[in-house]
């Protein structure tokens, strides 16, 4: 019985080491150039969620890099089965971390260059979240009210968050999302990137989910 036990122990040790190493690589590797699809001048995306449907219309003239990325992600089905992990009904709603850690690792390194803010952050406007310079990837936020400060907020030498689209139907759905956790999950995003939805299922049950996102005419 000693040898099988030792073999099992070695296997577990290897698995844990490999997982840890992969996660460290996810954090430390530099960004790379992802070639996104070129989006149409404008297009609509129907989001089906656990609370109902909403539609975002994107406009390439507002922020072409952001719109191309949004178009690419929707085409690839990225937003399917993703949790709405931040719900502040007097500020913003945020989502866009994949359930698949491999997907999250890839896109977290595919960072967009910054773009100028050309539209105001009015209620229903949509933009990519960011942490600093050239850091936009997949996460989106929707303004729940007029948020003028986001037009000019300075972060690591970058002004504002450039809106690339707006909610044209179903805005009421955002006010129905579970806001029990508010912004508590924000500082825990590394765990979502590492474990996917199972982390949120275990520690933050009851979150609402984007079930599917589809380009419509």
Q: pLDDT band for position 217 (50/70/90)? A: confident
Please check whether residue 130 is in contact with residue 77, taking contact to mean a CB–CB distance below 8 angstroms. Answer: no
Give the C-alpha separation, 16 to 102, whole Å. 16
Per residue in 86-143, pLDDT (tens digit) is 999 999 999 999 999 999 999 999 999 999 999 999 999 999 999 889 999 999 999 9
- Cα angle for residues 213, 120, 92 (degrees, 5° grid): 50
Give the C-alpha separation, 141 to 124, whole Å. 9
Give this prediction's pTM.
0.85
Give the C-alpha separation, 118 to 129, whole Å. 16
Q: What is the mean pLDDT of residues 168-188?
A: 98
List of domains in the chain: 36-216 (2.40.100.10)
């Amino acid at each position: 019985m000693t040898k099988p036990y030792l073999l099992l122990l070695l296997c577990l040790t290897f698995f844990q080491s490999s997982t840890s190493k992969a996660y460290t690589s996810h954090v430390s590797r530099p960004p790379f150039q992802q070639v996104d699809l070129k989006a149409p001048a404008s297009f609509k995306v129907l989001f089906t969620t656990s609370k109902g449907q909403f539609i975002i219309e994107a406009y390439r003239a507002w922020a072409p890099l952001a719109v191309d990325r949004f178009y690419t992600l929707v085409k690839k089905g990225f937003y399917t089965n993703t949790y709405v992990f931040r719900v502040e009904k007097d500020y913003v709603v945020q989502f866009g971390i994949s359930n698949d850690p491999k997907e999250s690792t890839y896109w977290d390194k595919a960072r967009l260059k910054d773009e100028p803010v050309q539209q105001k952050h009015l209620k229903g406007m949509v933009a990519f979240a960011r942490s600093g310079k050239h850091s936009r990837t997949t996460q989106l936020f929707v303004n729940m009210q007029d948020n003028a400060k986001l037009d000019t907020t300075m972060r690591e030498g970058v002004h504002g968050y450039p809106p690339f689209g707006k909610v044209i139907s179903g805005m009421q759905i955002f006010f129905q999302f579970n806001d029990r956790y508010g912004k508590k999950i924000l500082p825990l995003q590394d765990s979502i990137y590492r474990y996917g939805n199972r982390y949120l299922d275990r520690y933050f049950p009851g979150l609402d989910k984007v079930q599917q996102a589809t380009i419509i005419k």
